[in-house]
Structure 1
Amino acid sequence: MSPEIDPRYDIDGDVYVSPRYLAATTGIGDPALQPLLAVGWDLQHDDLGNAYVNAPDRRVRLGYLPEGEDDGLWRINAYKDPFGPPAWGVCFNDRTPTEFVQAFTTALAAAYEQGPDAYLARPTSSSDDHSPFLVVTPLLKQGWELGRPRGGVFAITAPDGLAGLEFILGDLDPEAELTTRDARWQLWAGTSIDRRAWYATASTDTPVALLTAVTQCVSDPALLPRWQQDTYSYIKGMAQLTPILPAEPPAPTPLDVQRAAASRRPAALPAPSVPRWSTTSRPALPGPRR
């Protein structure tokens, strides 16, 4: 049975991409910004075209940085103190499918509405709503394979080996987690570490609910629409691209069949006309003489 089309996303493209983690970015940031703007976050731009979104209490900030210094297109940080160091940070690079970022910002908007206990909730080792194991649960349900820890890295990989989630064990440098790819969590798709289609990183104290929203979206079997010309060349050989066909017309109803049959019946012939004489009729013309 083929995967179903996800009705939450508008169809904008000429192919569906499967698996969805091999889809490219849509190149449009609005869908991922909208969940935060809808709950009253402030949007500003700089002269280069970068966008900055701030929570009303200034404790959560998002940067959409197409003109940034590296490939970190999306950077989201949260703060216990608006003037202190970030409590957690997340980065999505410039090739990450926009739907995955939107899943994160949608969960972030919901957590912010609940308050600091939700959007600053630290993961815990107990089996509660903040257990890191919840992050990998959606992946396991879709057949991703859990590997043994190697070199201090706990990894789970997609069935085709073209995507994975890594969790680094041990102590990490908090500053490095926020400024490099040496973060606690790293989600990726591609063929190798040097040929990644996209990647996302999250620091140690990123709330579990926010990360789980992303892994649920990544592992969703529904297809994503894309324009084939915008699909990365090295992905085309790995992903399944299904042409988007126009919708089939609806099946005819019994009334439609009756109307069609009636339209094909020959029309009744008119009755022949009989000439009649009247007082206004012209007299017959005389015939030729014999």
Structure 2
Amino acid sequence: MPPDDDPRTIDGDVYVSPRHLAGTTGIGDPGLDPLRNLGWDLEHDDLGNAYLTAPDHTVRLGYLPEGDDDGLWRINAHRDPFGPPTWGACFNDRCPTEFVTAFTTALAQAYEHGPDAYLTTPAPRSNGGDPTRAVMPLLNRGWLIDRPRRDVFAIRSPDALARLEFTKGHIDPEDELTTRNARWHLWAGTSTNRPYWYATASTHTPIALLTAVTECLSDPAPLPRWRQDTHSYIKGRAQLTPIHPPQPPVPTPLDVQQAAARRPATLPAASVPRWSTTSRPAPPGPRR
């Protein structure tokens, strides 16, 4: 269980495990806040979509519940604010919000370190950077190398319901930003054609941002969700554990002693006002 069991901070009534089956929370603020806290400009359109822009216009984020497709989160970085994106990432509308927040938190940290931290192309390795750092959190937590395919390195979760794929070789830059044919493809489900959720990242996406996602993805701690909001897909696949409110702590002998010391001293019996339920004495009768 997560260390913080205070029901005031838990948004849900069940814990979902493994966390790659949790699905979205349906709330955008956790993913937006790491960048908003840096003073990035926030705008909304008439449909209710939100747009965050870095002060130097090198990074843009769109939170698009009313977008043209299921790409709920789209993040693009630009060396030239007026040029094509240097890299782009997308999380669809069912992707667990915590994975998006891990990405935007790492992006906020990189942005504070300067352009070299979030605009520099990863070290080349067969055109696309060295994937080792990003996949190590998964391997260290029991994920398995999947059946090899030509030009694709794949790793899957122990339950085989989540996969990370890294495509080697050349990929069309425009396809990476507009389709799921990206360098990095992370998804959960039983079919790549109809995944439960997915996320993609293009060739030059900083490895540190991807590693933040795989660290969060492979964390063994369950995620809180509202039972009525859980998707039918996870029934029979995920473990749902009720979230119980914490029981009041049992007082220690010292607690009892200190409570007794704080009680006021008992007043003398004579000073305590008394009352009775008996009827009042009868008034005196007429004189004889």
The TM-score by the shorter chain falls in which range? 0.7 to 0.9
Letter in 2 for 1:45: H
Cα gap change, 1:48 to 1:6, in 2 (>3 Å): farther
Between the aligned partners of 1:27 and 1:131, the Cα distance in structure 2 is 33
Corresponding residue number in structure 2 for 1:211: 210
Deviations 1:140-161, CA, capped at 9 Å, x for gaps: 1110001353132110000010
Contact 1:24 1:230 in 2 (8 A): no
Per-residue deviation, 1:121: 2.1
Secondary structure of the 1:191 match is coil
C-alpha contact (below 8 Å) 1:6/1:223 kept by paired residues: no
SS at match of 1:72: coil
- Structure 1: which amino acid aligns with 2:242? P
TM-score (norm. length: structure 2): 0.84
Distance 1:232 1:88, change over 3 A: same
Q: Distance in 1 between matches of 2:184 and 2:76?
A: 15
Find the counterpart in structure 2 of residue 164 from structure 1.
163
What does 1:23-102 correspond to in 2, within 5 Å? 23-102=22-101
Alignment of structure 1 residues 222-241 onto 2, 5 Å: 222-241=221-240
Tell me how far apart the structure 2 counterparts of residues 227 and 241 of structure 1 sit (CA, whole Å).
10
Q: Which amino acid aligns with 2:198?
A: Y
1: CA distance, partners of 2:122 / 2:202? 11
CA positional deviation for 1:123 = 1.6
Return the offset for 1:52: 0.4
Aligned to 1:106, the other structure's residue is in SS state helix
> Residues 235, 6 of structure 1: CA spacing in aligned structure 2 closer, same or farther, 3 A cutoff?
farther
Q: In structure 1, the residue corresponding to 2:196 is in which secondary structure?
A: strand
Identity across the alignment (%): 71
Q: Is the 8 A contact 2:12 2:227 kept in 1?
A: yes
TM-score, with length taken from structure 1: 0.84
Which residue pairs with 2:266 in the alignment?
A: none
What are the within-5 Å matches in structure 2 for residues 153-192 of structure 1? 153-192=152-191
Give 5+ residue unaligned stretches, structure 1.
Answer: 261-269, 271-290
1:95-154 per-residue CA deviation (whole Å, 9 max, x = no partner) reads 01111100000000110111110011212147xxx7421000100111000135313211
* Aligned counterparts of 1:107 and 1:259: Cα–Cα separation in 2: 47
The structure-2 alpha-carbon separation of the partners of 1:8 and 1:21, relative to structure 1 and needing over 3 Å to count, comes to: farther
Q: How far apart, in 2, do the equivalents of 1:48 and 1:35 lie?
A: 23
The 3-state SS of whatever aligns with 1:170 is coil
Change (3 A) 1:253 1:206: same
Alpha-carbon separation, structure 1, partners of 2:18 and 2:257: 45
Structure 2: gaps spanning 5 or more residues: 260-268, 270-288
Superposition deviation, residue 231 in structure 1: 0.3
The separation in 2 between residues aligned to 1:35 and 1:259, in whole angstroms, is: 43
Match for 1:146: what amino acid? I
SS at match of 1:177: helix
Give the direction of change, closer, same or farther, for the CA distance of 1:6–1:47 in structure 2 (3 Å limit).
farther
Please tell me whether the aligned partners of residues 76 and 89 of structure 2 are also in contact (alpha carbons under 8 angstroms).
yes
Distance 1:146 1:137 in 2: 11
Does residue 5 in structure 1 map to residue 6 in structure 2? Answer: no
Runs of 4+ deviating beyond 2 Å? 6-10, 255-260
Residues 114, 256 of structure 1: CA spacing in aligned structure 2 closer, same or farther, 3 A cutoff?
Answer: closer
Give distance in 2, aligned partners of 1:245 and 1:208. Answer: 38
Q: In the TM superposition, what whole-angstrom CA distance separates every residue of 1:169-205 from its partner, at most 9, and x where no partner exists? A: 1100000000000000011111222342210000000
CA distance in 2, matches of 1:52, 1:8: 33
2:30 alignment partner, SS class: helix
In structure 1, how many angstroms separate the alpha carbons of the residues matched to 2:94 and 2:54? 25
Aligned-pair Cα RMSD in Å: 2.1
